[in-house]
Chains A and B, each alone.
Chain A
Amino acid sequence: MPLTVELGAVRFAYGASPVLDGAELQLSAGEFVVLAGHNGSGKSTLLKLCLGLLYPQAGTVRVLGGSPDDAPIRRRIGYAPQGLRVVTSIPVSVGEVVTAGLTPVRPIMRGFPDEDVRIAAALAAVGMEDLAHECLFELSGGQQQRTILARALVADPPLLLLDEPTTGIDQTLRPRLAAELRARADRGATVLAVSHDPDDFHAVLDRILVISDGTIRQLTHEQFHDHFEVS
């Protein structure tokens, strides 16, 4: 399978102390990977490097075979940031937020011809098929989080970068979301989910990666629990 995310000897620091120092990572199409680590260990930073929102101070970052700086590359990444970042000054409907995931980079570019079908499918994937016209801010925190997830899924991107995607979502709904992400991986997408709790995805994920002391290493599920219980 082709590589979709490649980090080579990446270093990134906020100030003097690096959060990533010589980090190496390779992900392939069709992989479902959870990235774990303590608070401040650099998980969200790694996602932002892959999105071109931050630049490595050393090393290389390649996604989908190119630079994350390129707009056409970024357009093929589905991103769900941590928490609700949608500004709350004016009411916005769930459908409007999800539609933002289909926005073409330039107005002259054609959007998706089947926009309505895609929006309905993305909302169905997160169990919100009947809520497209609801105001986002009148929904529960879990529904808001699922809306953000639907925005990341709506364009059916080949790379999904999800920062704590299950935060605030009911325990009963998490297996459904995990199955949906697995299905996307099985269709060839790469799913990289930052999570404090890989148990949410235990039944469906391929690998658990942990960032520790600026580097990334792979752990088994048992090793992960041993590691975090000891530390």
Chain B
Amino acid sequence: MRSIFTASWAVRAYIAVAAVGLTAPIIGSFLVQRRLSLIGDGIGHLAFAGVAIGVALSIAPVWGALGTAILGALALERLRTKGRIAGDLALAFVFYGALAFALVLLSLRHRLDASAIGVLFGNPYVASWGDVITIVVLCAVAVAAIVPFYPQLLAVALDEETARAAGLPVDGLNLLTVTLTALLVAAGMRVVGLLLIASLLVIPIAAGSRLAHSFRRTISWGVVVGVVSCLGGLLFALGQGNVHPGGTMVLASIAGFVAASVAGRRAARRHPRQAGS
């Protein structure tokens, strides 16, 4: 039992999932507020196409995923804002097109194997120190980019038209948001997987929204739920031994959402707020 706390591979896994669990809700808050909760999923599919490109070009999958996710996310945002394609339709094209492209390319290269499919679901146990450093650096870059832009990103997330009227560079800020989402997806690929990373962008923030009365506090609670559910899910998987940690982390965040909903309702009953005229 002691080894699951102190073994080098376990420590690496804890650091990696904690970094992702902390960063995902911060970025996710701006996506959820703009009703773009599923964009992380679309970018995850794009990143899988990037993994395939990485395999074909013999470069590390994470860099292929990162490059493709960023370029695809920027293109997706541009298509969405130019109104050439409806938001959900654009996502559908990305979902299916990127996945199909990746499957075709990987099979053509005879690399449609367990390691390629593994990036869809992640595995923090096999993360090397190099992987962990990459994950932590990508997460740190994402958070460091958000901090100075927080007031602008919040103003756009609250009311895009009024932010535009106030002269804020709305298009640039939206591009920043999807670029940071792509960074997070690439960072989380190794530990949670491309198919599940989007859930950490959304579910902890949804949980936080049940407990808070402000955007800032929603992010704070979201970070708590994100980190606790990632570490808790990983610990459960390690202790149980046979379950996939990506699944337990996401299920733990859903449990966090349910608990937050119950706690939020109880708090509302105990301290009803009065609305005036």
Verify that A and B bind, or say they do not: yes
- Enumerate chain A interface residues (CB-CB to B < 8 A): 51-53, 70-75, 77, 79, 81, 85-87, 89-93, 95-97, 99-101, 103-108, 111, 133-135, 138-140, 142-143, 151, 169-170, 172-173
Given contacts A96-B216, A100-B154, contact A86 B167 (CB under 8 A): no
- For the complex, what is the distance from the CA of A221 to the CA of B163, rounded to whole Å? 35
Are B276 and A91 in touch, CB under 8 angstroms? no
Are A53 and B164 in touch, CB under 8 angstroms? yes
- For the complex, what is the distance from the CA of A108 to the CA of B165, rounded to whole Å? 20
Give 18 CB contacts A-B under 8 Å: A51-B165, A52-B165, A53-B164, A79-B162, A85-B159, A90-B29, A90-B32, A90-B215, A91-B218, A95-B214, A100-B151, A100-B155, A111-B151, A134-B213, A135-B213, A139-B275, A140-B275, A143-B275
A interface, over-half SS? loop
**Chain B 159-182: CB-based contact to A (< 8 A → 1; otherwise 0):** 101111111110000000000000
Minimum CB distance partner of B34 in chain A: A87
Are B277 and A143 in touch, CB under 8 angstroms? yes
- For the complex, what is the distance from the CA of A85 to the CA of B155, rounded to whole Å? 12
- For the complex, what is the distance from the CA of A68 to the CA of B222, rounded to whole Å? 39
Are A90 and B167 in touch, CB under 8 angstroms? no
Are A133 and B213 in touch, CB under 8 angstroms? yes
Contact residue among A51, A81, A107 (Cβ-Cβ distance under 8 Å from B152): A107
Minimum CB distance partner of A94 in chain B: B214
Are A81 and B213 in touch, CB under 8 angstroms? no
Which of chain A's residues have a CB closer than 8 A to the CB of B273? 134-135, 138
Is residue B26 contacting chain A, with contact meaning CB distance below 8 A? no
Further pairs besides A85-B159, A90-B32: 16, Cβ < 8 Å: A53-B161, A71-B167, A74-B166, A77-B165, A79-B165, A86-B158, A89-B35, A90-B209, A93-B213, A99-B151, A100-B154, A106-B152, A107-B148, A135-B214, A143-B276, A172-B277
Which of chain A's residues have a CB closer than 8 A to the CB of B164? 53
Are B277 and A91 in touch, CB under 8 angstroms? no
- For the complex, what is the distance from the CA of A135 to the CA of B218, rounded to whole Å? 11
Which of chain B's residues have a CB closer than 8 A to the CB of A139? 275-276
Is residue B123 contacting chain A, with contact meaning CB distance below 8 A? no
Is residue B5 contacting chain A, with contact meaning CB distance below 8 A? no
Q: Which of B149, B166, B218 has the most CB of A within 10 A?
A: B166
Q: Which of A53, A100, A105, A108 has the most CB of B within 10 A?
A: A100
Minimum CB distance partner of A172 in chain B: B277
Are B276 and A140 in touch, CB under 8 angstroms? yes
Which of chain B's residues have a CB closer than 8 A to the CB of A138? 213, 273, 275
Given contacts A87-B157, A103-B151, contact A173 B213 (CB under 8 A): no
Are A105 and B29 in touch, CB under 8 angstroms? no
Given contacts A87-B33, A90-B33, A140-B277, contact A100 B165 (CB under 8 A): no
Given contacts A103-B155, A138-B275, A142-B277, contact A72 B167 (CB under 8 A): yes
